């Protein structure tokens, strides 16, 4: 008899959990959540920031260097 009561009690708890999880909510909870001002999606640089100069704009240009060829032994 005790095992039957335990099983029925567990079934009642399971039904209560399912009923609580799937219950219909009123229209008050249908509103979208407010956007908290966390700043995670704000631009990194403000729109009114002064333009900065490229620090490498006046760097010397690159030069191409030809690969050194191995000299062949003279006969």
pLDDT for 61 equals 73
Residue 68 lies in a domain: no
Query: Which residues form the domain of 9?
Result: 1-25
Q: Is the dihedral of CA 9, 15, 16, 18 positive or negative?
A: positive
The 10s digit of each residue's pLDDT in 10-39 is 999 999 999 999 987 776 666 666 766 776
Number of domains in the chain: 1
Residue 6 lies in a domain: yes
pTM of the predicted model as reported, rounded to 2 decimal places: 0.36
pLDDT for 12 equals 98
Residues recorded for the chain: 75
DSSP assignment, residue 29?
G
Mean pLDDT of the chain, nearest integer? 78
pLDDT for 64 equals 67
Residue 16 lies in a domain: yes
Residue 37 lies in a domain: no
Q: How confident is the model at residue 7 (pLDDT cuts 50, 70, 90)?
A: very high
């Amino acid at each position: 008899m005790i095992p039957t009561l335990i099983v029925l009690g567990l079934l009642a708890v399971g039904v209560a959990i399912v009923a609580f999880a799937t219950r219909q909510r009123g229209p008050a909870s249908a509103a979208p959540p407010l956007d908290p001002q966390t700043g995670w999606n704000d631009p990194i640089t403000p729109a009114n920031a002064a333009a900065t100069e490229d620090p490498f704009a006046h760097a010397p240009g690159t030069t191409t260097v030809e690969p050194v060829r191995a000299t062949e032994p003279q006969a």
